[in-house]
Amino acid sequence: MNVSDCLRDIYIGTFAEYITASNSLGAMVKEQSVLVNSLFKLEINLMQILQKYKKPVHPQEEDIFLEPIAKQINIIKNFTIENGRDCSYLHYISDSVDIFHWMKESDLEVFVERFSDYIIAYKDIYRDSSFGVKLSRWLETWTRILEEFSESVLTNFKTGLVWHGTENLPTQAVLGDKTEFRNYDHAALFKEINQGENITRILRRRNESAEATNSTSE
């Protein structure tokens, strides 16, 4: 079973139980779970990219595919900051959601080990009868997600992020080995490309703009 299939199994299994438990609690917990659902889908999408394509030449190209996960984690954390005073349970998710941003870690065993403390603490909490049946079920499903996701990452990426595919990334096919690629706001650059602009014209225009700025500053 490949890593993408492993994550899908978690998604249709334990993660689906977490969504159901979140929906039963409703309100802010349900809203937060919608954001977490988007995050998990981004993880699955990343696994599909890693399986299909080979490692890009430029690190910035790789970052383009990793950045959405980091942004979604920040959205979840900001949501919790804004609403956590009214619903303290949101912190159980946002405090441990960083496990989904494992891709840049040099030692995944050490990284994953950090989350074992959350797993132990959460188990103590949801096993406490005073916590409430619905809340216990909700936190128990999230704890299992942490366990299963940790195992999946360590099994498939023990030495770090690996590109298993044989095809070039579409971005690489467009940009080739242009050294100018390293110097730009890459998200904005690809937005322009996706809108149909020619890459040579884009780079020339940006070079002219940079030169004009430098001349003015001198």
Backbone angles phi, psi at 58, to 5 degrees: -100, 135
- Output the pLDDT for position 177: 43
The candidate with the shortest Cα–Cα distance to 79, out of 18, 29, 14, 151, is: 29
Lowest mean pLDDT among 15-19, 148-152, 192-196: 192-196
Indicate whether 37 pLDDT > 50: yes
- Output the pLDDT for position 55: 85
The domain 3-156 belongs to what CATH superfamily? Answer: Adenylate cyclase-associated CAP, N-terminal domain (1.25.40.330)
Banded model confidence at residue 93, pLDDT cuts 50, 70, 90 = very high
- Output the pLDDT for position 182: 44
Q: What percent of the chain has pLDDT over 90?
A: 40
Residue 197, phi-psi category: left (phi > 0), alpha (psi -120 to 50), beta (remainder): beta
Q: What is the pTM of this model?
A: 0.75
- Domain map of the chain by residue range? 3-156, 178-217
Decide which of 210 and 6 is more confident: 6
Report the distance separating Cα 138 and Cα 135, nearest Å: 5
Indicate whether 39 pLDDT > 50: yes
Decide which of 129 and 214 is more confident: 129
Look at residue 75 and give its three-state secondary structure. helix
Report the distance separating Cα 58 and Cα 177, nearest Å: 8
Indicate whether 143 pLDDT > 60: yes
Mean pLDDT, all residues of the chain = 80
Decide which of 139 and 205 is more confident: 139
Can you tell me the mean pLDDT for 152-180?
Answer: 68
